């Protein structure tokens, strides 16, 4: 935990925390902190950028908005909920962090996350690595054909794409089709073995959504809607996302 | 699990992990289930560019894995897999990081030759 003293000037109002409280059910309990430190002691991000979850919340309460809206710690925190889970007062620190991320001008948020979000907006595939509908179909069919031809006993292996009415609509993280396609085959074998009625789709197949991590609500929603529409258009009953 | 379906759902995956590696080979880390620590790959951290901070975050997970003495760590998702794999290399942890699908197919005897990128030499040829 950080031992740096925090200097307070004259009484400041906590505008940021109050704003976030208005958005959360029960105000995220943000005013209920007992300062017990359970959050900070189990947070792997404690100490990074001189910050920890308790300190972040206390600073928000004390109206040190400028400091907490500036700290890069909001990008070190993974929004993992460990603090919320152990907090006796169920204080939603991750939401406070999320809204602090959101307060950063979009073009000053981490470049890597932003690029992955922007890339996903390029195609209706929602792939953060920019793989197109044709790329995906080509890779899946190619890998499937090879597995069928070279692996005895798997001549009937399937990897359906755009199969209307399938029970399960399966998303796929871009990492496999783009960088290590053979890693998809074990998954197909498992689905085949259990007799699952499933399908990939050319639209909305990308499992990842970096716009969410970027705290870009509008595009986060846009991506979820594209995917949900793809599931509906195929009439699938379950949407399986592995992320 | 902590953020969505909770420990009951985690128990299903733990059941699968136990079955595919065998009860005697399953080593739990401490703390576990919803008390467990995040590995540090999520929330966009792998893409955020604060590499040093990300690895510092992952030191807790590294110590947890090393304390088990296990040769393999099963990762549930892609972010975890990338992060835990990187932690093993960076901190010279020596463990292998695998996806559950790899172990399921290995235990079913159907893991193909090209599907073994993350297995160590001890398992690389098993069942071929
Ligand atoms: S665990 Fe909850 S009550 Fe305790 S210091 Fe953290 S936020 Fe406050
Ligand atoms: S959500 Fe953020 S602050 Fe809370 S335990 Fe996880 S990393 Fe720490």
pLDDT digits (tens, 9 = 90+) for B52-102: 999 999 999 999 999 999 999 999 889 999 999 999 999 999 999 999 999
Burial environment of residue B121 by CB neighbours within 10 A (0 to 12, 13 to 18, 19 or more): exposed
Confidence band for A10, pLDDT divided at 50, 70 and 90: low
pLDDT digits (tens, 9 = 90+) for B18-62: 999 999 999 999 999 999 999 999 999 999 999 999 999 999 999
Is there a single domain that holds both residue A227 and residue A117? Answer: yes
Nearest Cβ partner for B112 among A47, A76, A185: A185
Tokens of A13: 């109002």
Q: Which domain holds residue B84?
A: 7-124
CATH number at residue A48: 1.10.1060.10
Q: What's the pTM value of the predicted model, to 2 decimals?
A: 0.94
Q: Report chain B's terminal Cα–Cα distance, integer Å.
A: 34
- What whole-number distance in Å separates Cα of residue A238 and Cα of residue A232? 10
Is B40 a domain residue?
yes
> Does the pLDDT of residue A9 top 90, yes or no?
no
DSSP state of A10: S
Look up the ipTM and state it: 0.95
pLDDT digits (tens, 9 = 90+) for B2-13: 888 889 989 999
Is there a single domain that holds both residue A40 and residue A123? Answer: no
Q: How many domains does chain A have?
A: 2
> Does the pLDDT of residue A197 top 70, yes or no?
yes
Q: Are B108 and B83 in contact (CB under 8 A)?
A: no
Is there a single domain that holds both residue A39 and residue A147? Answer: no
Burial environment of residue A10 by CB neighbours within 10 A (0 to 12, 13 to 18, 19 or more): exposed
Q: Are A238 and A168 in contact (CB under 8 A)?
A: yes
What are the backbone dihedrals phi and psi of residue A56, each rounded to the nearest 5 degrees, phi first?
A: -60, -45
User: Residue A4 has what pLDDT?
Assistant: 74
Q: Does B19 touch chain A (CB under 8 A)?
A: no
**How far, in Å, are A45, A85, A113, A182, B67 from residue A127 at the CA level?**
29, 31, 13, 18, 37
Q: Does B47 touch chain A (CB under 8 A)?
A: yes
What are the backbone dihedrals phi and psi of residue B52, each rounded to the nearest 5 degrees, phi first?
A: -60, -45
Tokens of A31: 């005013």
Confidence band for A243, pLDDT divided at 50, 70 and 90: confident
> In chain B, which residue's Cα lies nearest the Cα of A116?
B47
Q: Which domain holds residue A127?
A: 112-240
User: Residue A2 has what pLDDT?
Assistant: 61
Confidence band for A12, pLDDT divided at 50, 70 and 90: low
Q: How many domains does chain B have?
A: 1
End position of a domain, from candidates A76, A104, A132:
A104
- What whole-number distance in Å separates Cα of residue B79 and Cα of residue B74? 12
pLDDT digits (tens, 9 = 90+) for A17-54: 999 999 999 999 999 999 999 999 999 999 999 999 99
Beta bridge partners, A238, equal A168
Contact B48 A78 (CB under 8 A): no
Distance B102 CA to ligand 1 centre (A): 40
Is A7 a domain residue?
no
């Amino acid at each position: 935990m950080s031992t740096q003293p925090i200097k307070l000037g004259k009484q400041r109002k906590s505008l940021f925390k109050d704003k976030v409280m208005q958005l959360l059910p029960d105000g995220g309990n943000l005013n209920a902190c007992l300062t017990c430190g359970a959050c900070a002691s189990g947070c792997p991000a404690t100490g990074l950028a001189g910050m920890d979850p308790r300190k972040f919340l206390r600073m928000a309460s004390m109206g040190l908005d400028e400091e907490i809206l500036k700290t890069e710690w909001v990008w070190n925190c993974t929004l993992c909920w460990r603090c919320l889970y152990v907090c006796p007062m169920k204080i939603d620190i991750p939401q406070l962090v999320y809204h602090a991320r959101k307060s950063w001008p979009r073009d000053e948020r981490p470049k890597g996350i932003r690029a992955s979000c922007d890339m996903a907006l390029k195609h209706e595939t929602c792939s953060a690595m920019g793989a197109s509908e044709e790329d995906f179909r080509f890779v899946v069919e190619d890998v499937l054909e090879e597995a069928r031809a070279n692996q005895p006993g798997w001549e009937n292996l399937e990897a359906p794409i755009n199969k209307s009415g399938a029970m399960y609509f399966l998303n796929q993280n871009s990492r496999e089709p783009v960088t290590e396609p053979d890693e998809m085959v074990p998954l197909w074998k498992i689905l085949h073995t259990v007799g699952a009625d499933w399908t990939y789709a050319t639209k909305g197949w990308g499992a990842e959504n970096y716009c969410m991590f970027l705290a870009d609500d509008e595009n986060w929603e846009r991506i979820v809607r594209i995917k949900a529409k793809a599931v509906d258009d195929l009439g699938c009953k379950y949407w399986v996302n592995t992320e | 699990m902590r953020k969505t379906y909770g420990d009951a759902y985690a128990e299903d995956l733990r059941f699968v992990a136990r079955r595919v590696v065998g009860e005697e080979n399953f080593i739990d880390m401490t703390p576990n289930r919803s008390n467990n620590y995040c590995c540090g790959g999520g929330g966009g951290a792998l893409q955020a560019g604060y590499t040093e901070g990300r690895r510092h975050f992952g030191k807790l997970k590294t110590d947890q894995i090393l304390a088990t003495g296990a040769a393999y760590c099963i990762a549930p998702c892609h972010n975890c897999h990338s992060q835990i794999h990187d932690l093993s290399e960076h901190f010279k942890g020596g463990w292998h990081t695998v996806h559950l699908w790899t172990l399921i197919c290995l235990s079913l005897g159907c893991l193909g030759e090209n599907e073994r990128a993350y297995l160590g030499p001890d398992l690389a040829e098993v069942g071929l």
